[in-house]
Amino acid sequence: MNIGVLNDSFDGETRVSATPQTVQKYVKAGHKVLCETLCGSKAGFSDLLYQKAGAHIKDRGEVLTSDIILSVGAPAEQDFSAFRKNQWFIGNLGLSFAQAQLKELVQSDIGLIDLSKMPRISRAQSMDVLSSQSALAGYKAALFAIDCLNKSVPLLMTAAGTLPPAQALVVGAGVAGLQAASSLKRMGANVIASDIRQETMSEVQSVGAKFTQNFFEELPTSDILITCAFSYGKKAPLLIDKAHFNLLPFGAVAIDLSGANIEKSDDRPDIFFAQDRFFERKIAQSASFLFANNVYHFLSAFDFFSEHADFEDELFSAVCICFGGFLRGKIR
């Protein structure tokens, strides 16, 4: 089986779908790996490292002839004409396709796997790209916010006086939110986390944060605000409009991981504001390491799509969009 690794370095993407470590595992399992030139350069993996792991460095055209094509995101439209019957494309697709494009892919007879649709069940944890990437996004957002804040985060008692801990508010207690809250707490901030789901209270408390469902009253004292209230594949809700944004204290840091939770106010130039749906791209090496392992575990679980693979398995059925000319699922 030939496995191809595409260079995804477009539209700000920095990650890669296979690392030298996973390439070594594929080669050890008897597969040939073709890596597109510079596919891992933005994640800190040179072509030489891939070659030492056993990969062959090729141009994009040759990589697209592989039996299994790995990518972080969706296939590029200009690549559609290269696809053929019995190929497989694996990526994190989300809302990437218009119906006309999806129809074209179905007609190409390619097998299309969307790992963003992986069910959140225990046996799928090692393949869950959303959880692995969200955890890193929350972690990096917390560190970024601390770095941008113009004050000390932990309580500091000195002979010159006592500095109180920074106050942090995290809105959305999913994987990213919990990781952000945990990281901020470990760095010494007083953390409050909010979610509309009352059942998340125990998870919030388990990372040392306080829980609230009314986050608006916490805004005037929040030195750091991180929002991550969204469901993958759906438009994130606007939670904090300009009027509420103006409630933040002077010099606050606000980071929106959803891309749509916060409406920035031009009246508050003192507030540092960042809005980025893919914060994990800022730590591309770690993000690629986890993403590549997710992909490897998925392929291993289904025997690299050999005749022994169970194509009726609930996990496969959930992530398989099309195969053999038939539409088996829907892009979220």
Question: Pairing between strand 190-194 and 56-58?
Answer: unpaired
**pLDDT at residue 173 in the model:** 96
**pLDDT confidence bin for 168, thresholds 50/70/90:** very high
pLDDT reading at 95 higher than 70: no
pTM: 0.94
pLDDT reading at 331 higher than 60: no
Residue with tokens 């980025």: 276
How many H helices and E strands in the chain? Answer: 10, 16
**pLDDT at residue 295 in the model:** 98
Tell me the C-alpha distance between 87 and 7, whole Å.
18
The pLDDT > 70 percentage for the chain reads 97
Beta bridge partners of 224: 168, 253
Q: Provide the token pair at 265.
A: 């106010």
**pLDDT at residue 291 in the model:** 98
Q: Where are the domains of the chain?
A: 2-117+284-322, 134-277
**pLDDT at residue 329 in the model:** 60
The CATH code that applies to domain 2-117+284-322 is 3.40.50.720
**pLDDT confidence bin for 94, thresholds 50/70/90:** confident
**pLDDT at residue 323 in the model:** 86
Residue with tokens 């952000």: 180
User: Got the DSSP string for 88-150?
Assistant: EEEE--TT---HHHHHHHHHTT-EEEEGGG---SGGGGGG-HHHHHHHHHHHHHHHHHHHH-S
Q: Give the tens place of pLDDT for each residue, 250-298.
A: 999 999 999 999 999 999 999 999 999 999 999 999 999 999 999 999 9
Q: Give the tens place of pLDDT for each residue, 134-164.
A: 999 999 999 999 999 999 999 999 999 999 9
Helix-strand-coil percent breakdown of the chain, rounded to 5?
40, 20, 40
pLDDT reading at 111 higher than 70: yes
pLDDT reading at 332 higher than 60: no
Q: Do the domains 134-277 and 2-117+284-322 match in fold?
A: yes
**CATH fold label, 134-277:** Rossmann fold (3.40.50)
Q: Give the tens place of pLDDT for each residue, 173-205.
A: 999 999 999 999 999 999 999 999 999 999 999
**pLDDT at residue 215 in the model:** 97
pLDDT reading at 325 higher than 80: no
**pLDDT at residue 99 in the model:** 67
